[in-house]
Amino acid sequence: MGGVGQRANSSVMSLALLGGSFDPVHRGHLQSAQELVAQLDCAQLALLPAAHSPLKDGHCASAEQRLAMLQLGLAEVGNCGGKITVDRRELDRSGRSYTIDTVREVRAAIGAERPLYWVIGSDSASHLERWRQWQHLLRYCHLVILSRAEQPLQCTPTIQAWLERHQCYKLAQLQTTAAGAVWHCTLSPLPISSTAVRQQIASGAPLTGWLPTSVAEYIATHSLYR
């Protein structure tokens, strides 16, 4: 299995994975995906809606509804010339959605040499010790942490030391190795959350600029989050 020393053939082959509940997808999710494609210079970025997150009680919309909204929003906002796709593998897999299972499955599918990035926010990275087999993640992928001013990285000394030990400072190294490194990335601030969207809908407050029009129409048609 490729590690930090495993050379990749070309940076243009790289694949980034951005998971989440997308309950519902909003413009912040889609803008982040577009910026990641540009910043990481990756050939493909896949959005992976989670079926059953082990760290959440549940989802408000069904798996198929969240998938439909994600596909509608991406089609409306733009997929960067086909580089951004939707991957439903976690919805089709029974049981809880564990990241380690997903990256193992994707790595087996794409081979040992292709650079693979798993993208998470600093809020998720702060709780990395709660993830199943988190110590093994870098055997299969690079970890890309999105820095957020409103949610700074606050992790235990164990996680902090682990992140620092594997931190990469040159994008070229990330692009030419298959796995094994930690990369910190800063995106444009867009203070929108799915929780806030659901609260706005429930209260009847306006959502101007928060959702793609097609997603807002889907929510209204199916009376979601009310």
DSSP assignment string, 74-118? HHHH--TTTTEEE--HHHHS-S---HHHHHHHHHHHH-SSS-EEE
Query: 11-221, which class in CATH?
Result: alpha beta
Q: How far apart, in Å, are the Cα atoms of 211 and each of 141, 180, 189, 191?
A: 31, 35, 16, 13
Q: Please state, rounded to an integer, the average pLDDT across all residues of the chain.
A: 90
CA distance 9 to 195: 41
92 pLDDT band, cuts 50/70/90, is very high
For 105-119, what is the mean pLDDT?
A: 97
CA distance 147 to 33: 14
Of 94, 21, 20, the closest CA to residue 62 belongs to 21
11 pLDDT band, cuts 50/70/90, is very low
For 168-177, what is the mean pLDDT?
A: 93
pLDDT of the residue at 180:
98
56 pLDDT band, cuts 50/70/90, is low
CA distance 16 to 201: 31
pLDDT of the residue at 54:
57
